[in-house]
Amino acid sequence: MKINLRNTLYGLVICVSCFLVGALMGSKADEQSITIGMIGQASKILGLSFSDAESDSMITELEDLRKSTIAIRKVALDNSVAPALNFNPIPFGYQFPDQASGFKLGPLNKSSLPANRDELAYYSVRELADLIKHRKITSVELTKFFIERLKKYNSKLFNVVSFTEERAMKQAALADAEIKAGKYRGVLHGIPFGVKDLLSTKDYKTTWGSVPYKDQVIATDATVVKRLEAAGAVMIAKLTLGELAMGDVWFGGKTRNPWDLNRGSSGSSAGSASAVSAGCVPFAIGSETLGSIVSPATECGVSGLRPSFGRISKHGAMALSWSMDKLGPIARTVEDCALVFQAVYGSDGQDLSVIEAPFNYDGSKTLKGLRVGYLEKDFQRKYANRVNDSLTLVKLKELGAELVPIQLPQMPYNDLVIILSAECGAAFQDLVISGKDDLMVMQNKNAWPNTFRGAQFISAATYINANRVRTLLIQQIHEQIKGLDLYISPSFGANLTASNLSGHPSVVLPNGFNSKGLPASITFMGQLFGEGKLLQAAQAYQQSTDFHKKHPQLNF
């Protein structure tokens, strides 16, 4: 995700602009007297003007603010400590789409072992589960198979930070013993998976893909990891992410796209999408703040679910933006995403931002009778995937959906990204203070180090007012999509930013290929906490196409 440094400077606090950079870098700026001249220079950056008398009258207040800023900065704050402010995406008068929870998978033909075992790499989770359940293959065999593939292709794809082989083999052996004893836990029992290495695991490093943290050990398992293992799934690797959740470049290199090794896999869930696409894991956990599931899933031709904000506990996950971070599955099929989501959603008593809401999924449902909005002006503009997206709209009509034209409210979406800048600047202020931001791999103007530095100048007033605008955005989107079951959007554009700010869920899935033979995608958008109907609709569309069945040819 790209953050424009210019946006981070709009809310420059007058007092901080005069002295904070020097103080952060260890100078005596905190001891300097604040002068009328300092205030005058700082106010120019804000686009404000104060008389000398007004500036003089502010000096005592600004000196007090400086003292408070420095005192607060001296308190040790681990990344896991969240602010005492919880973002709530629910608009006024909103009712959850699902009134009760339920989970029903769609029909599946019995699976059989392929003559060529390599074909197992591209089986869906459900197909692999059928083999395990009926003891046509063991979890140990399947786990060894996927670990070997990861090791074989990692030297070219750079999608693994840590192999968790010892832990995986113990889990797989336990799964086989339980299944043999008739204690089958469900579809995920014995299925290998990987997690983005911003999720903590007590037995292995949690590097966040970043040089300053590459030897970090967090002695706890993230809630998502615990819940997947409780369902019987087998973790085989910690997968790459772009450094501190930006892009696909990490301290070990650039994670590659299995469809074209000359391309990165995009980010920041770079390793998760790359590994699923290459058939090295049946599914993986990624995260999204501003496109980090949608973008790599598109690039690598796989399916991804970005749930509503507050659906899945982020306990044990690196915090980038407390009000925008969302964990979600990346898999070969939409239904695989649904069954992983079923295993991990809900409160754990650790993440206070989690909102309890029903989840009702029925994989046998069709699109008939559904009212599906589409962002009319967005589909009409000239963009790279316009033809494939137009064909998707045609297919939805054929499948019985009623298409309803809608449009997003007019809002300064790009400017509202200052919310993310402020929060990530707080989350990683220690890097700026210590100077360890200089150790990070990417150092260009739009990279994290400069965002973190610039974010130190965002005023509390600007951050709060941006969130007030966000309240208007949430309410207006609610009014636009009220009465719809879901809506459709091009994967990239204003909707990606708007919906990440509003907290709405999305499913991104393949809908064709571009002129270079690389995957393209479409995005299905749900009502807040409407993942059930969203996944049902996306699954129905996916089953009417075969794009998800295509996979890269790994001739390396």
CA distance linking residue 495 with residue 381, whole number of Å:
14
- From 55, 196, 269, 521, active-site residue: 196
Coil, helix or strand for 405? strand
> By 3-state DSSP, what share of the chain in percent is helix, strand and coil, each rounded to 5?
40, 15, 40
Out of 265, 266, 268, 491, the active site residue is: 268
Asked whether 91 and 478 are in contact (CB, 8 A), the reply is: yes
292 is catalytic: yes
Question: Sign of the C-alpha dihedral, residues 436, 442, 448, 449?
Answer: positive
Helices (H), 399-459: 413-416, 418-427, 429-434, 448-455
| Catalytic residue, candidates 210, 265, 269, 292 | 292
The C-alpha atoms of residue 333 and residue 282 are separated, in whole angstroms, by 10
In terms of Cβ atoms closer than 10 Å to its own Cβ (0-12, 13-18, 19+), residue 293 is buried
Instruction: State the alpha helices, DSSP H only, in 399-527.
Output: 413-416, 418-427, 429-434, 448-455, 460-481, 494-502
Alpha-carbon distance of 519 to 488, in angstroms, equals: 18
Residue 515 bears catalytic tag? no
Task: State yes or no: cis peptide before 268, omega within 30 of 0.
Answer: yes
196 is catalytic: yes
Q: Can you spell out the DSSP letters for 55-98?
A: HHHHHHHHHHHHHHHHHHHTS---TTPPPS-----PPTT---S-
Taking the C-alpha atoms of residue 98 and residue 284, their distance in angstroms, rounded to an integer, is 26
- Residue 401, SS3 per DSSP: coil
* Nearest in space to 420 (alpha carbons), one of 223, 245, 294, 285: 245
Cite the active site residues: 196, 268, 292
